[in-house]
Amino acid sequence: MRRAIIPLPKPPFPNPTMSASLMWFRKGLRIHDNPALQHASTGSSFVYPVFVIDPHYMKPDPDAFSPGSKLAGLNRIRFMLESLVDLDSSLKKLGSKLLVLNGEPGEVLIRCLKEWDVKSLCFEYDTDPYYQALDARVKDYASSAGIEVFSPVSHTLFNPGAIIQKNGGKPPLTYQSFLKLAGEPSWASSPLSTSMSSLPPVGDVGNFACEISEVPTIKELGFGEVELDEWTPFRGGESEALKRLRESISDKKWVANFEKPKGDPSAFVKPATTVLSPYLKFGCLSSRYFYQCLQEVYKDVQKHTSPPVSLAGQLLWRDFFYTVAFGTPNFDRMKENKICKQIPWNDDDELLAAWREARTGYPWIDAIMVQLRKWGWMHHLARHCVACFLTRGDLFVHWEKGRDVFERLLIDSDWAINNGNWMWLSCSSFFYQYNRIYSPISFGKKYDPNGNYIRHFLPVLKDMPKEYIYEPWTAPKSVQTKAKCIIGRDYPKPVVSHDSASKECKRKLGEAYALSQKLNGRVTEEDLANLRQKLEQDKAQEPKNKRQKR
């Protein structure tokens, strides 16, 4: 990564009364409603606004299944860099500047605290396990060095720890119980600080000057001259977030009538939702400010939808998942996760790859996966369809495998919400009606009978008549020839028969649920292995003509 020495204005000659604060940005890439930044700038002579490029998330990985690092695809990395450029621009307008450093964040931060004689360290509280461990280490050093630490909760509407404490030390496991415990946010009727007139100047960076860079480009991060065939149409940054928010809430009728899970998952020219989730993920938009804006709209209309289906309800779902994730050990895996059903998922890498690479032979599923790869985003109902298809609907592949693909490719990938939704959609936790399956054929057809969404993201099928576009394998050979798309050559045959595969998935889940009930949820790895063996034996004993075809 190229290093550029940043010219910084020389601070006034230091005196004993001058103090310096360090504002450590991670999420919370914004100026509005940023109590950590507000605190850092109050009473300080200098403020060091720091962002650390963390190799854990950003180191290029040539072996990953898509361009990017080990954990993040290029769409999300690019979105984050755009957010940093926007943040730097906002800081400059306030008389400051973003200082970008590179390395293991704990080591970098501790060195900054030592060399810059910082008296106060400020950063937004983060519940993710990775940051919990990192923050504990940095706080320990700061405490031993007599440095004040200010780490407010401002990424969520509520403090997840306080909700858990209120519930006797356990997270509430249903949305309704969460709402009852949470009540109204304490800050809801108080004005939030949505702007700043200025910031104290950046202090003397000393020997760090040669290591501080401008916000790097994709190429400077070591990803080379990577050109995706289509970048995400959504640009990062607080400015874009606030613009999108204004556009969303300007249509008061739409806000008042918003009702999830309704909405058109096939709408892509103008998505049928706010697309504010990436901005909330990176903290370019304050969820608290969004919540207050919604409350203002609700006051101005005669009636509106309510949680769980309203827009405000979606913000509360976000907090619900954050709270459960924070209070549940091993939330991101099936094993040793007390709230997760133990299910003998298939370990089929070929089926996983077919799903990930949009080769399932089901155009609705494959088009969604192409949109995910190209845009890093798709409608929530589209996410439901492909997650169900991979897990309990058709392929019976482990939800953790799908979670990893979403974690990499989504620009709004959020640790708590991603894991929570995958457990929900695989019927591993929260939701247990495994007989309700999204059809990979009829569900999309309901919204888009002509198949325009499929034609856009799967151009190989653009000339397929609408009668066959959701099931192209049923088209006569003459129709396939005229459409210039021979199934099995130009576009794959289905990897499974949906009817038989879904029945098999239901049977397996029924057996897994029954075992869990019998053992009172205490299912061991040995129990799972025995169940897997039983399921395979049962299948082997079925008449050959009833076996699931692949």
Which residues fall in the annotated binding site for FAD? 273-277, 314-321, 412-414
Q: Which residues contact 153 (CB under 8 A, 6 or more apart)?
A: 124, 125, 159, 160
Q: Is 487 helix (H, G, I), strand (E, B) or coil?
A: strand
132-157 burial, b at 16+ Cβ within 10 Å, e below that, comes to eebbeebeebbeeeebeebbbbbbbb
Give the phi and the psi of residue 51 in degrees, each rounded to 5. Answer: -130, 135
Separation between Cα atoms, residue 548 and residue 508, nearest integer Å: 13
Q: Is residue 88 within 8 Å of 216, Cβ to Cβ?
A: no
Beta-carbon contacts of 55 under 8 Å, excluding residues fewer than 6 positions away, are: 102, 103, 104
Could you tell me the two tokens for 225? 């001259």
Query: 51 in helix, strand or coil?
Result: strand
Annotated binding residues, written as ranges, equal 273-277, 314-321, 412-414
**How far apart, in Å, do the first and last CA atoms of the chain sit?**
47
- As a whole number of angstroms, the distance between CA 292 and CA 287 comes to 9
Burial pattern 361-398, b for ≥16 Cβ within 10 A else e, equals: bbbbbbbbbbbbbbbbbbbbbbbbbbbbbbbbbbbbbb
Largest CA distance in the chain: 88
Token couple for 451: 């198949």
φ, ψ for residue 348 (rounded to 5)?
A: -110, 95
The first and second tokens of residue 1, run together, are 């990564």
Dist. CA 357–CA 479, nearest whole Å: 26
Q: Which residues of 507-543 are buried (b: 16+ CB within 10 A; e: fewer)?
A: ebbebbeebbeeeeeebeeebbeebbeebeeeeeeee
Cis amide linkage into residue 171, ω under 30° from 0: no
Backbone angles phi and psi of 159, in degrees to 5: -85, 110
CA distances from 479 to 79, 473, 484, 497 (A): 42, 11, 9, 22
User: Would you state the structure tokens that stand for residue 244, as one six-digit string?
Assistant: 């999108």
Cα–Cα distance between 295 and 305 in angstroms, integer? 12
SS3 461: helix
**How many alpha carbons lie under 13 Å from residue 116 in its C-beta half-sphere?**
31
Alpha helices in 258-375 (DSSP H): 277-281, 287-300, 311-326, 349-356, 363-375
